[in-house]
Every structure is written in structure tokens, then in C-alpha cells.
Structure 1
Amino acid sequence: MPHDFQNLMPAIALRTAHPPLPQAPGPVGVDPFGCTADRLSDDQALIGKDVQFYRKSSLGKRATQVEMPATDRGVLLGVSLRGGHRRRIFDGRHGRTHDFDNGAIYLRSLAVDYKADFCSDFDFMLVEISRTFIERVAIERGAATPELQPLAAHADPVLAHLAHAMVPLLQHPEQACQLFVDQLSLAIGAHLVHRYGHGTALPEDGGKSLRRLPPRSVERAKEMLAARFDGNLSVGEVADACQLSRSHFTRAFRESTGQTPHQWLIERRLERAYALLRDTDLPLAEVAVSCGFCDQSHFTRVFSRATGVTPGVWRRGAAG
């Protein structure tokens, strides 16, 4: 797995509380991707400014065909969340059949008309990415703006892992952390530019993009993160305060602290939780809210993952 993604992986299992991201309106008739509403068993969405995540599945409700006219919305990445899907994709009058294993992807420009016959049920994570976002990621990584290579039924373990990380957030949008969603979007964009950009090499720049943040910028970033303990803070806001691009800031913060911004914030929450559990008699539900978790259940999951014991067991051990 490329270096850029290795240190991001531990944060993916964590879910942090904040007010839900804006949701797409429920489909009426046919959705923006040509799927008929009554043929979908799952239809979930997290909508951002430049990157939008959807889960679309037809399990038990056979979808037979989709048609989508060209738009200027950017590119669409589809990641199959289970194996066994087959579809016939048409190019004019000619069609080609593709079999999608679990984790197989397709990638296409939304500026081209699309038509496909579905030969079986499907379960896909769709990531709609604006052209502006792709251009910005390419520039920040020192590459020319690429035309992304169209693909169908192509194995990509990195994108499969990132797509599966979004599943619980689409199921529980109230637990979606803006900081984490931003980081995941940047990881997906960087991987697409690096792996599928036509003729776009990403040469090493002598470590310039991975250099550490100046101490003043590190402290500024930490102050901003700590001040928004619920995690409802975007990478872009912190990066702007440090006068850096988002991807440069995320990499440089990790080089400086050994953690992504999201991981650093989780550790600070846990530190506050240790102090409250040890020094106060606050109920666990109040400790959870005071530390930026959405509820006691969420607090218990994160705490147990970090320590190996529940908050109640930890508190009894600290008192004894």
C-alpha cells in the first residue's frame, strides 16, 4: 500500500460525533445516476462540496438497466461492496460484459453518456468527484491536471478498503466526522490521480511535500483542533490557518506529530476521558458528552478499542 495511505488506515475504524453532514434528498422516480428508486434496497448519501458518497444496492430488487446522460459534474468512482455482479456496458451500439468481484471498481467521466444492462443484483459505493477537486489534488501533488483512465471491473485493494470504511458512516451519518471525511476524500483523490491519471507521473520532490510543519503552525493547528472538540472542523479550515494546501497540511502534520489530525483529536479526547474517570464521579454518559463523543455507546467503543477495557472497568481499576 502506498506510503500516503498507510498511516491513514488506523483512523478509519474510528467514528467521531458531530452534527450530520448534509444529506441528499430521497430519490423520486429516477435518481441522478439513472437508477429507478423502487429497484433500490439501499440508497444512502453523504454530500460534500466537491466529493459526494453514495451507497446504492439492489439486493432482492432486480435493477435491469440504467441510462445517464452526460453532465459536467466530474467523474464517478464505483466500488463493488460484494462479488457476483455482472453488467453489460454499452458504447454506442456495442456492449461489453463485465464481472465485478468484491472490491472491483469502475471509473468513468460523467461528461460521457452512460448506458448499462444489469444482469444481477449489485451493492456499490459511488463516489462522485468534481473536476475542480481532481485538478486541485493534482496541483497540490506537483502533477499536471490528468484525464483519468476509464475502467470497469478493475481490482484496486486500496480503493476497496477506503470504500468499506465509508459504509458505517453512511449507515449512521450522525456519527460522521467532517475531519475524517475530508481526509478520506483526499486519500481517494490522491490515489486516483497517482494511479489512473493519463501520463501523470508523481515524481519525488526531494521531500518538500513531506517536510515538517514549523513549530508555530503545529501549535496553531493543535489549538484549533482542541477548540473544536466535537470534530466538526474541516481540514481546509486548519490548512488555511497554516497557509497550506489541504493535502500538504495533512501530510506535514502527520510528519510532525506522527498522527493524522483526526487521530490526534481522538487521543486528546481520550486524555480528557482518563482525567474525568479518575478524578470525578460523573456518570459515563456525561463523560462521553464532555469529551466530544456523541453518546455513551460511541465513547465505550472508542475507549475499549484504545485500552482493551471499558470505561467502567478502567475507572474501577484507577480507583483501586
Structure 2
Amino acid sequence: MFTDLQVAHAWIGLQAGPRNHQVRQAQAIHKENGWRRLEGGLDAAFEDITISRWEDLRDSSSHQATTPEDRYFVGIALKTTRAKLTRDRQVVFDGTMPAGTLYVSAPSKSLSAQFQAPCAFLHFHISADHLQSVAGDGLRDLLGDLVLLRDPLAAELAKALTDHDDAADRQFARCIGQTLAMHLARLEPPRARVNALPKWRLRRVEQHIADHFDRSISLSELASVAGLSRMHFAAQFRAATGYRPREFLLNYRIEHAKTLLATTGRPLAEIALAVGFSTQAHFSTVFKRITAQSPARWRLTSKREPFEIEAQPRRRPAADRDWAASAAA
């Protein structure tokens, strides 16, 4: 199957066609006399998709603009910068924007931007009708205020256009814009943020695991202890600990197995049963997956090195996201 990037390259290659190198550049990429302000205004650029370029070499700058009522605004970072975007005093984004970052502002929305480093962007002004025709229902819910970090396709589209430089003509630029519009139409809505399991509920679950880790414990049982449905418990538990409930239980068992391996001479099969595994084979498989060593080798190593008992798995730090997204109502 073709990837989005392969499809984009094929589409761009087919649509580019012959180009007039000098005459059409002004029509392909419009100049901005201010952030998101085209020379002559958008009224002078009547296309469904208008592209402009903004560059500011200052170390810091502040800007404000309102998206026209019949357009969506899309920006693609051409170089890494640091930015803070706000709307109605609500922070939409605050942090580093790598090259290829894509951000969207819906029609009739005012957006303020503060850049704390030199910046360069391609700006796409896409008519709401055009985007609606390719995206269908749910467009407004998805593309409110949206920031996607490290969007590979957006980066490739921007590069394809800027690489042509003076050779980019109106037809080629429109092809890039259409591909971007189709990309936006295929985006999945960002998942709602999940609240972490409250500490008092988490303590109850951890204590239940500590008391019963040597037997089978189901997700339903832990959810009942927490006083939540299975779905809500699993999501909130992972937000609080970084582990799925099953992962946490297995790690807890392995930590206790380490204690028995280091401080007793009990056989592996006996230790496996003592910490809640039904077979030695399953115990050995999980132990090696978590520690990268077999139980027997770990036992030999622990006798040569001081062993520090850890009663439960450490909190797993929140995973870094390759993208960050926020949709304001």
C-alpha cells in the first residue's frame, strides 16, 4: 500500500507540469506585509487555496490576526522556532515548534502569536467550502485550534514547494494546497485528555495488589476496588502510573520474585507459584522480558552485587509525544 508521502509525491509529480519560471511566482506564493497579512489582502487572491510565506529574523516578535469568516488558516513551520499561541487568553500552544509543525486556525477566530526565535512559515489560506468538500461532517470539531508537531507529510509538502523556489507556478502550488487539504481531512480527532486516578483510589488499588498479588487478579476486580468501570479505571490508572493494570501487576510480581531469588535458595518453580505465576515457563518469559535476564542468571548476578529491594514498580514517566494537539471549543 502507498503511504501518504508516496501518494503526495506521485500527485505532485503528475500535477506540476511545465512552469513559467519568473512570471507566475507572485501568483504561486504571495508576499505578506505583516504576519498573515497578504499584500492587497485576501480579496486580491480569490483562489480556493492561497499560499503565502512569512519570515521574521528577529529574536522575538508578537503578532495578532483574525481568520476570515470563509477561510481556514494553516501554517507549516519551515524552521524550528519557539512560539506561544493564545486565543481569548487561552493558551493554545506554548513550546518549541520543530520544522514541519502544522497548526490550524478556524474561520472567524482571532489568534495571537509570540515568537521567541527567528521563524519562517508557509501559510495556506483555504476556503471553508473547499475544505468542507473533502473533509465532510465534523470538520469544525476537528480543526478548531490544532497544533501537530513533527507532521512528516506537511514537512514534505512545504519542502516540495520551497525547493522549487522561483520555478513554483500557480498550478504546482495549488496541487500542494490540495494535497494538504486532503491530509487535513484525513486527520483523526485528538483524543480527550484522561484525568489521572486520584491518589486515594490509587492507594487502595496498590494495597489490594500488595495483599493478593500471589493469586489471579482480574481487571474487573481492580476496577471494583477503585470504584470505577473497567474502561475508566484502566485509562485513569495508566495516566497515574504509566502502566496498564496488567503491566503493573506483572512488574510487582517480578520485584517480589527478585527478593526471593536474592535472599532465598528456593527453586524457580516454587518462586514462580509464590508470586502468582501458574507455571515456571510463564514466570521465566515475563522475568526476562522485564529484566533482560533469565531468573537463574539474575540470581547469580545478585549474589555478586548488592541487591536493593524495591517493593513495587517505579512510576513510569509520561511518554513523550511526537505530536501535541489541542482543540478549543
Give the structure-1-normalised TM-score: 0.47
Give the structure-2-normalised TM-score: 0.46
